[in-house]
Structure 1
Amino acid sequence: MLVLSRKEGEGICLGDGVVVRVMGISKGVVKLGIEAPKEVLILRSELAEAVKDSNIVASKSAEAPDLGALSKRLKVKQ
């Protein structure tokens, strides 16, 4: 893992066309801005993990996945 220090307004480049920029820092919370082409999928890591786990469960089950349980886990308002 690469660990970098960045100040507000500074950023890092990831590959071609993706820039992650520090937009603000307040009360221990860092706000990030991500510039990327539209075809680049951007997900919060906890959301990607929940989708992965749901897909694994669904692939092992003959029944349809419980989307209500997934929504509650992700705290999605329906």
Structure 2
Amino acid sequence: MLVLTRKLNESIKIGDDIEITVIGVEGDQVKLGIDAPRNIDIHRKEIYLAIQEENSEAAGTSIDVLKQFTKSIKKS
């Protein structure tokens, strides 16, 4: 993990297209501004993990539904 120290209004660049700027510091919270192309998804980590979990559950469910559908067609 790369650890950088930045002050208020200072930025870091990730590649050519992403810039992260420290917008504010209030107590133990740091506000970041992220400038990135629209085609790049940006989520808080807990939201990202929740999306991944939902996708995994949906993928598993769809297989079960497909199997049930296949069985019902074979019975017909």
TM-score by length of structure 1 reads 0.73
Per-residue CA shift, 1:12-71, capped at 9, x if unaligned? 0011111000001011100000011222221111111101011111222235xxxxxxxx
> Unmatched 5+ residue regions in structure 2?
66-76
Identity of aligned residues (%): 40
Partner residue in 1 for 2:44: 44
Write the letter of the residue equivalent to 1:39. Answer: N
1:23 lines up with 2:23 in the alignment: yes
Aligned length: 63
TM-score of the two chains, using structure 2 as the length reference: 0.75
RMSD of Structure 2 on Structure 1 (CA): 1.2
Q: Which runs of 4+ in 1 moved over 6 A?
A: none
Which structure 1 residue ranges, 5 or more long, are not aligned? 64-78
